[in-house]
């Protein structure tokens, strides 16, 4: 059972590691790792050497779980979540709330970029090409045009995202308007967070002449994709992240209200 200390006008409730783990629905080893990783505030020890956690630790632990549950959401969202946790660990919950609203804005921005990329894709798939020049370019020229490296272009080709014709005399790659237009769409989808597997899945359908439900195809791994990442179903991931961001805001506001008027 949690212990209480009554040496001040305020009663501090102490939790053992097992109490904290049970209250947050995690394993005791998770609590210990979070302490070691700095995801919880420093913990004082009782005379018998046992850690003594407080409500402050439980508040942080529940926030940690809320932010970290689920699959990896991408670099910017992950980094933003880590900043919220760090603020809470410092006991700056007002700062954590401000960061949580910024976190929501980041998720919304990622969603807007993902949606814009799909809109470009849909227009391109319906014959509205993104290229007007009739020039034939070599790989270095295309890389400079698109702001990527030669290796990136080769990697996209190796992964089956496009098939580039070769010059017969020397096997140099030759990129015409069709290839360059396709590459612009691929680049925007990649920059918007979609995985190469999701893009390939969509392009394979498109190359069969089927332009239906491309948004859904991007977001629906096939049965043979038995191991997949958040970016393989990026639209659903971002929808879930927006819901999570709002839960984070609600939770932090609850903590602030529960601690209003209490000592730090």
Task: Please give, one letter per residue, the 3-state secondary structure of 193-254.
Answer: CCCHHHHHHHHHHHHCCCCCCHHHHHCCCCCCCCCCCHHHHHHHHHHHHHHHHHHHHHHHHH
Integer Cα distance of 124 and 201 in angstroms = 16
Can you give the pLDDT at residue 157? Answer: 94
For the chain, the average pLDDT equals 89
For residues 204 and 38, the answer to whether their CB atoms sit within 8 Å is no
Closest CA to 162 of 122, 108, 202: 202
Can you give the pLDDT at residue 69? Answer: 87
pLDDT at 181 over 80: yes
What's the token pair of residue 122?
């849909």
Percent of the chain exceeding pLDDT 70 equals 91
**Could you read off the pLDDT of 79-124 as tens digits, one per residue?**
999 999 999 999 999 999 999 999 999 999 999 999 999 999 999 9
181 versus 130: the higher-pLDDT residue is 181
What's the token pair of residue 227?
């191991």
**Averaged pLDDT for residues 199-222:** 92
Closest CA to 15 of 30, 29, 31: 31
Can you give the pLDDT at residue 18? Answer: 94
Burial class (CB in 10 A: 0-12, 13-18, 19+), 239: middle
Can you give the pLDDT at residue 12? Answer: 76
| pTM of the full structure | 0.84
pLDDT at 229 over 50: yes
When mean pLDDT is compared across 12-21, 43-52, 167-176, 208-217, the lowest value belongs to: 167-176
Which residue segments constitute the domains of the chain, with CATH numbers given? Answer: 1-60 (1.10.1660.10), 122-234 (1.10.1660.10)
**Could you read off the pLDDT of 19-62 as tens digits, one per residue?**
999 999 999 999 999 999 999 999 999 888 889 999 999 999 99
């Amino acid at each position: 059972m949690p212990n209480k200390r009554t040496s001040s006008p305020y009663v501090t409730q102490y939790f053992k590691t097992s109490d904290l783990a049970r209250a947050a629905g995690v394993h005791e080893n998770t609590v210990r790792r979070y302490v070691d990783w700095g995801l919880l505030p420093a913990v004082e020890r009782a005379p018998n050497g046992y850690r003594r956690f407080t409500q402050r630790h439980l508040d942080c632990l529940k926030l940690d779980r809320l932010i970290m549950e689920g699959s990896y959401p991408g670099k910017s969202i992950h980094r933003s979540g880590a900043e919220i946790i760090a603020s809470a660990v410092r006991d700056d919950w007002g700062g954590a709330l401000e960061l949580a609203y910024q976190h929501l804005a980041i998720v919304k921005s990622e969603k807007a970029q993902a949606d814009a990329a799909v809109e470009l894709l849909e227009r391109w798939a319906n014959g509205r090409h993104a290229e007007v020049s009739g020039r034939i370019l070599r790989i270095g020229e295309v890389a400079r045009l698109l702001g990527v490296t030669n290796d990136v272009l080769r990697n996209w080709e190796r992964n089956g995202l496009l098939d580039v014709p070769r010059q017969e005399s020397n096997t140099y790659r030759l990129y015409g308007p069709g290839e360059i237009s396709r590459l612009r769409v691929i680049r925007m989808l990649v920059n918007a967070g979609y995985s190469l597997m999701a893009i390939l899945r969509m392009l394979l359908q498109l190359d069969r002449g089927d332009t239906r439900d491309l948004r859904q195809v991007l977001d629906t791994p096939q049965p043979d994709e038995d191991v997949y990442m958040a970016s393989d179903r990026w639209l659903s991931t971002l929808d879930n992240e927006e819901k999570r961001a709002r839960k984070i805001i609600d939770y932090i506001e609850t903590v602030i209200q529960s601690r209003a008027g209490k000592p730090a």
